[in-house]
Amino acid sequence: MYHSSSNRHLPIQSDHEKPQIKRHHTARYYAHIVKESLTTRISKLICGIFLSLLFILGIISFILWLSLRPHRPRFHIHDFSIPSLSQPDGFQNAQISFNATARNSNSHIGVYYDSMEGTVYYRDQNIGSKSLLFPFYQEPKTTTVITDVLSGATLTVNNQRWMEFTNDRAQGTLVFRVDLTSTIRFKVSTWNSKRHRMHANCDVSVGADGMILAASKGKRCPVYFT
């Protein structure tokens, strides 16, 4: 049998050398890819806008909170005296006078005071109390003067208590406490807060002559709520 020599030298192609068949995608496939890409971009854009709005709203809320956050009233004691303290029997005509101020330091918030009462303590013992102010409204950035005199029935000073004053007076200094209490509400535009029971404790030092010492004049009184 005769074999052609040309067939013997034909190269044998391996599987790796076989020509690759290119796949042709349909228009529907490309449309699907474009749609997915567009959907992803729109979703990212919406999320970005939403987060930006949240951030802006957070900043605005923080600024409003800082500007509208109510500050508690500021109280200061300016004068306090017991003129008859130097008299042995001064309790018979004793009187206590004091002068304090309440400052509303808020720029846009008013304060409603339902009423105000003043109580004077010595060694944590009540020695006199009195209603000081009727209900009133305090405008922003204003100061209210609180001044009054306790005497007669508003004082609970007896001979024994007066002897304590006299004995302590020999030491040179007596320390009293004026407690100013009221129920207040904060007013922001047309909105009113709930009621808060407020206390201002004013410690005041008095000399042997019954007059306030310089160290206590203009002293700020701590304020707290109950």
Residue 77: CB partners within 8 Å, gap ≥ 6? 98, 99, 100, 178, 202, 204, 212, 216, 217, 218, 219, 221
User: What does CATH list as the number for 74-225?
Assistant: 2.60.40
Which amino acid appears at position 99 of this protein? Answer: N
Q: Over range 23-44, report the average pLDDT.
A: 67
Residue 193: CB atoms within 10 Å:
14
pLDDT band for position 45 (50/70/90)? confident
pLDDT band for position 26 (50/70/90)? low
What tens digit of pLDDT does each residue of 102-140 get? 999 998 899 999 989 999 999 999 999 999 989 999 999
Phi then psi for residue 59, to 5 deg, are: -65, -45
Of 32, 52, 28, residue with least CA distance to 40: 32
Residue 84: CB partners within 8 Å, gap ≥ 6? 90, 91, 93, 94, 95, 210
What tens digit of pLDDT does each residue of 186-200 get? 998 888 889 999 999
